[in-house]
A and B are shown apart, each in its own frame.
Chain A
Amino acid sequence: MNQKKVMKLWMAFMTVFALFIAGCSDESSGKGGDDSSATEITLGFYSSGSADEKMQELIDKFEEQHPDIKIKTQNAPYQQFFQKLDTQIAGGTAPDVWLSDGVFVQKYAERGAAKDLTEWINQDLNKDDYYGLDFNKGPNGSYWAVPQGIQIASLFYNKDMFDKAGVDYPDESWTWEDLKEAGAKLTIDTSGKTANESGFKSNSVNQYGLTFFSITEGWMTVLKSYGGGILDDSLKQSIIDTPENKKAMEYIVDGMDRGIFTDPSDLQAFQSAMSPFPSETAAMRIGIYARVLAANETGVNYDVTVLPKGPDGERFSPVIANSWIINNDASDKKAKAAWEWVKYWVSEDDVQKEWAELGEAVPVKKSVAQSDMFLNSGDKPANKQAFLDSFEFAGTLDVNAVWSEWVKKTGDNFNRAFLKEASIEEALERADKEVQKVLDEFYENQ
């Protein structure tokens, strides 16, 4: 290589380097916060059809009330939104405030991307007025997010199917065993026999007693009401391999074996694992609040009640508090403006009511959730009170920073037991080991 060529290469390198540096510095000067009168904040949220319009309306109203704050929105469908968000956080261009799926709050919190909101919450919000603030608390007691809407589960049941089978509707006295017993009468194979009759074929079921899917609307709910669970209180230790979990798993596997509960391969036959209940192929489901939308859309004649009790009378209702997170990297000015938005969202009655009208989530503000507007809107289910009653025994899905990863490890192993490819003991033991490995790997390096 002659000198000229070396010079050229060097110049090329420097040009690129200069461009690169310029790009970086531009970014950081933006963060410094300018002193012009209006603060512009970026608000990120994942889209859900008709909700987008409502969100824009509420943003317009907010801007009217706060002339000194301008909101720029950034939204995308669920999967893309979170993928983009992660890369944006990496590049320092994430929104100042964003809507997070409840199960991802700790993922951002424990990796330093979410602002600690404890002080502001203590100062500005009366905790007793709201549902779900505590569901975003880390193990050390800090608040990382403020709920935007609450998903809490109860038992959905198809009234027509119960009537037809002559089975009493479920109520708060039910245990999981009662559910299975009723479910057997509601499970019908292709030749019209129920799961209690001889000659019933559990591999060609036309109507299931209970549709059972994955963690929230499946194993976690049963495990916890049997006194088991996945992680201990520190959320760093697996407690999968326990006698309580074994009993719960025996209950589930038996239900699947008899064809009363859908097993993972039954669900494969449906376009979506969510569809058996709204398409009237299952008489019952464990359902979070948002599931009323699909059921109402297909016009199922249904109602809800609290989830059944475990053998020792323990009850558990899983909750997912989808929440507003403020970017830890946002300048003070922007973070404060973002906090105004969060306060506006949870504390203004109008906002809470308008959002509740979409029927996507239980309102965060208790006074609104307990009002006629929510409880007696005329839309099914009639017994919406069951969702509110469930807060008494509600808990999160043991959410921590590596939630998605340990859910996969657990789910994969449990599915093998459900499909009888592994014994329950094997599945629990393997899941326990694999989950502990995921936890150790993350927390030992923190």
Chain B
Amino acid sequence: MVSPYLIHFIVFIAFTLLASLYFSFSRYDMLNAPQWIGLENYNKLINDPVFWKSLWNTVYFTVLFVPTQTILALILAVALNQSLKGLKFFRIAHFIPVISSWTVVLYVADAIFNPRFGLANDLLVKMGSQPQQWLNDEALVIPVLVAVAVWKGIGYMMVIFLAGLQNVPEDLYEAAEVEGAGILKKFRHVTVPLISGTTFLVLVLSTITTFQAFEQIYVMTGNSGDITAAGGPNNASMVLMLYLFQQGFAFLKMGYASAIAWVLFLILFVITLIQVKMQKKWVHYEK
């Protein structure tokens, strides 16, 4: 008997992967059969300033987002891992943005970052500073997107950390206390090493999700769902996934989009490999 999984693997995974690899070496507009053009798409990619810009933006987004979210989620998890009044309420409150759709989050973000009516500019003006254009400012658009993404994603990572924290045996803290360790020392020498496995998971997960960030940027920088308007101003928020989607589905350059996809895959693969290699240095698993 042929295993059902094998069929699934061949039809839905191996075949589609090979097809997309083939497309990346072809000119393919979806409406006509693909034409083999060798390395042309990859050559074009190397000479495409928007590709490099979106790669840079993706890296910039990740570098801002991953540490910020990880550190804040950990602090939040530690704060909510003690007996507090209304503990459940706070945990749920931090989780609500996670389950909200990006469209809903957009409205919340707009209430803050709208250049005319937003809270952020109100505050700036009251403090005597110049109002800002936020999402329409080339320098600010990514930091604003990161801030909103952290707000939306932090609850999820917090839950993962909470699970990790609850696995830290209480007697280790007691032993540390006997040795005279304060709160900070306990955190540094007991908590951090013991949840390093969880931290590793959080880092890998959030790196991958930011490299694939699409929906947020599409919703927040586009205009009424127009895919070609997203990624602005002047491509300052163009990230790889969005660029891929635009090239493939809006401009019918599926071959080129496939090449972008493979480059994205290779980058993610290398980064994850590095993370796995590095983990030996700082991640401790209980035997």
A407:B27 contact, CB within 8 angstroms = no
Binary contact track B234-270/A, C-beta < 8 Å → 1, others 0:
1100000000001001111000000000000000000
A373 CB–B CB distance under 8 Å: no
- B30 contacts which of A78, A90, A273, A445 (Cβ < 8 Å)? A90
Q: Bound complex: CA of A8 vs CA of B5, how far in Å?
A: 13
B233 close to A269 (CB less than 8 A):
no
Quick check: is A87 within 8 A (CB to CB) of the other chain?
A: yes
Interface pair A269/B117, CB less than 8 Å apart: yes
How many residues of chain B have a CB within 8 Å of chain A? Answer: 37
Contact of A86 among B30, B116, B235 (CB under 8 A): B30
B29 interfacial contact with A, CB 8 Å: yes
Contact A405/B7 with A268-B115, A412-B235, A445-B27 known, Cβ cut-off 8 Å: no
A108 within 8 A of B: yes
CB pair B228–A86 under 8 Å, yes or no, is no
Total count of chain A residues near the partner, CB < 8 A:
43
Tell me which residues from 1 to 42 in chain A have a Cβ below 8 Å from any Cβ of chain B. 8-9, 11-13, 15-16, 19
CB atoms of B114 and A15 under 8 A apart: no
- The smallest beta-carbon distance between B128 and chain A, in angstroms, is 16
B166 interface residue per 8 A CB criterion: no
A121→B33 CA distance, assembly (Å):
30
**If A12-B6, A12-B10, A412-B234 touch, does A268 touch B135 (CB 8 Å cutoff)?**
yes
Indicate if B232 sits at the interface (CB-CB under 8 A). yes
CB distance from B234 to the nearest CB of A (A): 6
Q: Does B133 contact A (CB under 8 A)?
A: yes
A191 sits at the interface (CB 8 A): no
B224 contacts across to A, CB distance below 8 A: 272-274
| Interface status of A123 (Cβ within 8 A of chain B) | no
Q: Are B115 and A404 within 8 A (Cβ)?
A: no
Interface string of A375-407 (1 = CB under 8 A from B): 000000000000000000000000000101101
- Interface residue B227 (Cβ < 8 Å from any Cβ of A): yes
> What is the CA–CA distance of A445 and B250 in the complex, to the nearest angstrom?
19
What sequence of 0s and 1s flags, for each residue 64-92 of chain A, a beta carbon within 8 Å of any chain B beta carbon? 00000000000000110001001101100
Interface flag for A198 (CB, 8 Å): no
Q: Does B68 contact A (CB under 8 A)?
A: no
Given known pairs A12-B2, A12-B6, A86-B252, the reply for A269 and B115 (CB within 8 Å) is yes
Q: Are B31 and A16 in contact (CB under 8 A)?
A: no
Contacts known (A108-B31, A112-B32); A421 close to B138, Cβ less than 8 A: yes
Q: Is the CB of A264 within 8 A of B7?
A: no
Q: Which residues of A contact B250 (CB under 8 A)?
A: 404-405
B271 at interface (Cβ–Cβ under 8 A)?
no
Report if B216 contacts A (CB, 8 A).
no
Tell me the A101-125 residues at the B interface (CB within 8 Å): 107-108, 111-113
Chain B residues with Cβ below 8 Å from A79 are: 225, 227
Given known A-B contacts A13-B10, A15-B2, A16-B11, A405 and B29 have beta carbons under 8 A apart:
no
Q: With an 8 A cutoff between CB atoms, is A408 at the interface?
A: yes
Q: Which residues of chain A are near B235, meaning CB under 8 Å?
A: 412
Query: Please, what's the 1-or-0 string for A407-432, where 1 marks a CB less than 8 Å from any CB in chain B?
Result: 11001100110010100000000000
Partner of B10, one of A16, A89, A273, A411: A16
Chain A's nearest CB lies how many Å from the CB of B177? 54
Checking B31, B116, B223, B228 against A113 with a beta-carbon cut-off of 8 angstroms, the contacting residue is: B31
Residues of A with C-beta under 8 A to B6? 9, 12
Complex: A136 Cα to B252 Cα, angstroms:
20
A419 x B251 contact (CB < 8 A): no
Report the bound CA distance from A203 to B121 in whole Å.
Answer: 13
Asked if residues A111 and B7 are in contact (CB atoms below 8 Å), the reply is: no
**Closest chain A residue to B131, Cβ basis:** A203
Find out whether the CB atom of B115 lies under 8 angstroms from the CB atom of A265: yes
Q: Which residues of B contact A (CB under 8 A)?
A: 2-3, 6-7, 10-11, 15, 27, 29-32, 110, 114-117, 131, 133, 135-136, 138, 223-225, 227-229, 232-235, 246, 249-252
Question: A269-B114, A445-B27 are known contacts; what are 16 more A-B pairs with Cβ within 8 Å?
Answer: A8-B2, A9-B6, A16-B10, A87-B30, A107-B252, A111-B29, A264-B136, A265-B133, A267-B223, A271-B110, A272-B224, A274-B224, A404-B250, A408-B228, A415-B232, A421-B234
